[in-house]
């Protein structure tokens, strides 16, 4: 599922001829086809990790005794645009030091992308919050807060921590899925949200050192092995959560 970093060199991506800064376009979750700008845009979405968050929302949804599949689709759309597009665009804006995706997209373009995506996410959510699930306002306000404070590292990065990552992109999406269905909170939903937060913690704990190794121009044999270890961990945890969410949904569909 993507290339293995066994060559000993983490290569700057094939944008040297374009005059832009090196990017992470060789990541295992970035397609190997298409123009560089397209590949970097897909990479910017961090699709495996976005899929994790969508799966958290899905898992929360299927905890409800009765399921509205229209609302399942709605919460997935909300998180795709709110997290997958907006939060990751703002993360690229707020990145300190080396820009992880180079300079192919300007800050203005990234801000525009984030604003448009948030407009879609909240546009979908507000309809349900006004008519059916007013409790979702609580989650929507909290997630809106974290979209900016986590990704732009406001308040001196106080909310840009592994613990707040687990809350904002692990536990809260799970609760959002459940609230979207029921307009309430339950003890089982809280316990599952805690479990999903712990899985999100595994992802971020592996992701940080993985990114540090990816930034190096050359790696020792020990660092190559460590990079492969972190990459395997990231693949397993992201795909594991996605398969869990899809499996639980299929179980409800055929029940």
- The range of the structural domain enclosing residue 239 comes to 42-254
Q: CB-based contacts of 4: which residues, under 8 Å, 6+ apart?
A: 228, 231
Split at pLDDT 50, 70, 90, the class of 21 is very low
Q: CB-based contacts of 26: which residues, under 8 Å, 6+ apart?
A: 3, 11, 13
Count Cβ atoms below 10 Å from residue 212 Cβ, excluding itself: 12
Split at pLDDT 50, 70, 90, the class of 10 is very low
Report the range of poorest mean pLDDT among 91-100, 177-186, 215-224: 91-100
pLDDT 10s digits, 30-62: 998 999 889 999 999 999 999 999 999 999 999
Count Cβ atoms below 10 Å from residue 43 Cβ, excluding itself: 21
pLDDT, residue 7, reads 37
Does residue 19 carry a pLDDT above 80? no
Split at pLDDT 50, 70, 90, the class of 5 is very low
Q: For residue 99, what is the DSSP state?
A: -
Q: CB-based contacts of 23: which residues, under 8 Å, 6+ apart?
A: 12, 13, 15, 36, 40, 43, 99, 100, 101, 102, 104
pLDDT 10s digits, 193-205: 999 999 999 999 9
Provide, rounded to the nearest whole percent, the portion of the chain with pLDDT above 90. Answer: 75
Does residue 96 carry a pLDDT above 70? no
- 78 within some domain: yes
Does residue 192 carry a pLDDT above 60? yes
On whether the CB atoms of residues 89 and 117 are closer than 8 A, the answer is: yes
pLDDT, residue 188, reads 97
- 16 within some domain: no
How many structural domains comprise the chain? 1
Q: For residue 97, what is the DSSP state?
A: S
CA distance 190 to 158: 24
On whether the CB atoms of residues 174 and 75 are closer than 8 A, the answer is: no
The helices-and-strands tally (H runs, E runs) of the chain is 11, 0
Does residue 152 carry a pLDDT above 50? yes
pLDDT 10s digits, 206-226: 999 998 888 887 889 999 999
Q: For residue 83, what is the DSSP state?
A: I
- 17 within some domain: no
- 243 within some domain: yes
- 70 within some domain: yes
pLDDT, residue 131, reads 94
pLDDT, residue 218, reads 86
CA distance 177 to 254: 20
- 37 within some domain: no
Q: What average pLDDT score do residues 148-158 get?
A: 93
Split at pLDDT 50, 70, 90, the class of 12 is very low
Average pLDDT value over all residues in the chain: 89
pLDDT 10s digits, 111-123: 999 999 999 999 9
- 202 within some domain: yes
Looking at the chain, how many residues does it have? 255
CA distance 113 to 146: 17
- 7 within some domain: no
pLDDT 10s digits, 68-77: 999 999 999 9
CA distance 134 to 148: 23
**Cα–chain center distance at 218:** 28
């Amino acid at each position: 599922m993507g290339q293995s970093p066994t060559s000993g060199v983490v290569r700057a991506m094939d944008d040297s001829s374009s005059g832009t800064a090196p990017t992470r376009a060789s990541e295992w979750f970035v397609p190997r086809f298409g123009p560089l700008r397209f590949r970097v845009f897909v990479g910017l979405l961090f699709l495996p990790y976005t899929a994790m968050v969508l799966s958290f929302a899905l898992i929360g949804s299927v905890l409800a005794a009765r399921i509205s599949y229209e609302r399942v689709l709605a919460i997935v759309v909300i998180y795709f645009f709110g997290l997958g597009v907006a939060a990751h665009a703002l993360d690229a804006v707020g990145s300190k030091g080396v820009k992880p995706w180079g300079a192919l997209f300007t800050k203005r373009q990234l801000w525009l992308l984030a604003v448009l995506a948030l407009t879609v996410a909240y546009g979908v959510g507000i309809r349900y919050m006004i008519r059916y699930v007013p409790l979702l306002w609580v989650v929507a306000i909290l997630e809106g807060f974290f979209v900016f404070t986590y990704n732009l590292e406001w308040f001196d990065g106080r909310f840009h921590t592994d613990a707040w990552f687990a809350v904002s992109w692990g536990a809260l999406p799970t609760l959002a899925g459940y609230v979207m269905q029921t307009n309430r909170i339950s003890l089982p939903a809280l316990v599952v949200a805690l479990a999903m937060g712990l899985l999100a913690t595994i992802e971020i704990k592996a992701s940080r050192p993985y990114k540090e190794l990816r930034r190096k121009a050359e790696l020792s044999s020990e660092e190559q092995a460590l990079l492969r270890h972190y990459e395997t961990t990231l693949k397993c945890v992201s795909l594991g959560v996605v398969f869990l969410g899809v499996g639980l949904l299929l179980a409800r569909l055929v029940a």
